[in-house]
Amino acid sequence: MKSPDLRDREEEPSTSLTGATVAPATDKEVHDDEAFCSQLVDRVLLRGPNPRRREFSLLMGVIRDFLKGFRTLHFVGPCVTVFGSARFDENHKYYRLSREVGAAISKLGFTVLTGGGPGIMEAANRGAKDVKGRSVGCNIKLPFEQKHNPYLDRWVTMEHFFVRKTLLIKYSYGFIIMPGGFGTMDEMFEALTLIQTKKIKNFPIVVMGSEFWGEMRQFIDAMLVGGTISPEDLDLIKWTDSVNEAIAHLHEYAVKQFGLRLAHGQPRGSKLLGERDLAAPQR
């Protein structure tokens, strides 16, 4: 069923908060918007009420995303997710640090899980492959080109950002937050909120890049002063620039806390259902 025309959902003319009059959408603007929406279903889903058949179709798309993610990631073993910017190239210091982090996570016995894209994500996955560890990505489909990086043993591409974020958290026993932008901050505070509200267990969160995150750390301290968080909430984050400290924190609060056997006892795929196990790391 055809999506409602944008002009059917707007008052004409409308007024912004600044009092300026906004011109009604032109035919070309409407066409361009609908073309964009056809490539990015999140925009259709989140733009308000759609026809009932369209809403049902969108709901089925969300379910397909989750099923695809479950089938791909169920057999990859205990993961640590590395979040960070897609904008750093291999010559950047944070790319090099993330590559070192990915290798160290693999040596600890975890699967390295990232958003599957370039930059920090690529570096962490690349670090895992440097030491022959398991490397997995959960990518996102965008209207502009967004390919998975070449250092993945397995990957899945999602239509919906919120499904992708849920999967990155669902399969992880710890989180490494590297320097990044809005998306990295969103992922970091999503994990913190879920832990703070007891929706998930107290998984370790390590924030690396003290120079980059310095003002953010001050702001979190200001939250405590302002009474919007509790003193114990500060303990949810480990701030460090040391890979050794980060790995020691993961070992103490992920491996020991949850009694993980890491390379042993992970779910096995069913050949009948077309499921594939992920090979154990080569030592």
pLDDT tens for each residue of 123-146? 999 999 999 999 999 999 876 656
Is 265 among the domain residues? no
Q: Are 78 and 110 in contact (CB under 8 A)?
A: yes
What gap in Å lies between CA 114 and CA 169, rounded to an integer? 10
Is 181 among the domain residues? yes
Is 234 among the domain residues? yes
- Count of positions (residues) in the chain: 283
Is 99 among the domain residues? yes
* pLDDT range class, residue 37, cuts 50, 70, 90: low
Q: Are 113 and 168 in contact (CB under 8 A)?
A: yes
Instruction: Determine the Cα angle at 218 with ends 230 and 220, to 5°.
Output: 30
Q: Can you give the pTM of this predicted structure?
A: 0.81
Say how many domains are in the chain.
1
* pLDDT range class, residue 13, cuts 50, 70, 90: very low
pLDDT value of position 20: 56
> Cβ–Cβ contacts within 10 Å for residue 6, how many?
16
Q: What separation in angstroms does the CA of 277 have from each of 83, 118, 157, 272?
A: 24, 25, 18, 13
79-96 residue pLDDT tens: 999 999 999 999 999 999
Is 108 among the domain residues? yes
**Residue 63: is its pLDDT beyond 80?**
yes
Is 1 among the domain residues? no
pLDDT value of position 79: 94
Which CATH number fits the domain that encloses residue 218? Answer: 3.40.50.450
Written as six digits, the tokens of 66 are 């989750």
Average pLDDT over the chain, rounded to whole?
85
User: Mean pLDDT throughout 46-66?
Assistant: 92
Q: Domain of 220?
A: 66-258
Q: Of all residues in the chain, what percent carry a pLDDT higher than 90?
A: 65
* Residues ≥6 apart with Cβ < 8 Å to 262: 77, 78, 108, 109, 110, 255
Is 21 among the domain residues? no
Is 166 among the domain residues? yes
What gap in Å lies between CA 55 and CA 238, rounded to an integer? 42
